[in-house]
Amino acid sequence: DSIMDKEFQNAPNKSAVDKFQLIPEFLKVRGLVKQHLDSFNYFVKTDIKKIVRANDRIQATYYPHIYLRFLNVKIGKPSITTDGITDIISPQTCRLSDRT
């Protein structure tokens, strides 16, 4: 181990007050919701494909030779179709119209 590692391990733990004082600086750098947005974006771009790939084949119960397979899953912008017209819809509109 290096000298820096040993110094870090032997350093006293910061008090709750010391840690609390770091919050404003943390929020300036990271923002309040950045980690949530990063996590969601990673899920949409990467994890959803892994989940579907792990369960990519749905087989008919009574006709085993018939199956459905998902090949490339994408998540697009939220939209709603009414009377054949498709419009982009916002999360706020979904919440207000009980679509969540």
Condensed to tens digits (0 to 9), the pLDDT of residues 56-85 reads 889 999 998 999 998 888 888 889 999 999
Total number of domains constituting the chain: 1
Q: Would you say residue 95 lies in a domain?
A: no
Domain that holds residue 64: 3-75
- pLDDT-above-90 percentage for the chain: 25
Model pLDDT, residue 21: 81
Tokens of 52: 């579907």
Q: Would you say residue 64 lies in a domain?
A: yes
Q: Would you say residue 96 lies in a domain?
A: no
d(CA 64, CA 33): 46
Tokens of 99: 């679509």
Given a contact cutoff of 8 angstroms between Cβ atoms, the answer to whether 45 and 37 are in contact is no
Tokens of 23: 């919050």
Model pLDDT, residue 89: 92
d(CA 83, CA 90): 19
Q: Would you say residue 92 lies in a domain?
A: no
Q: Would you say residue 9 lies in a domain?
A: yes
pTM for this predicted structure: 0.48
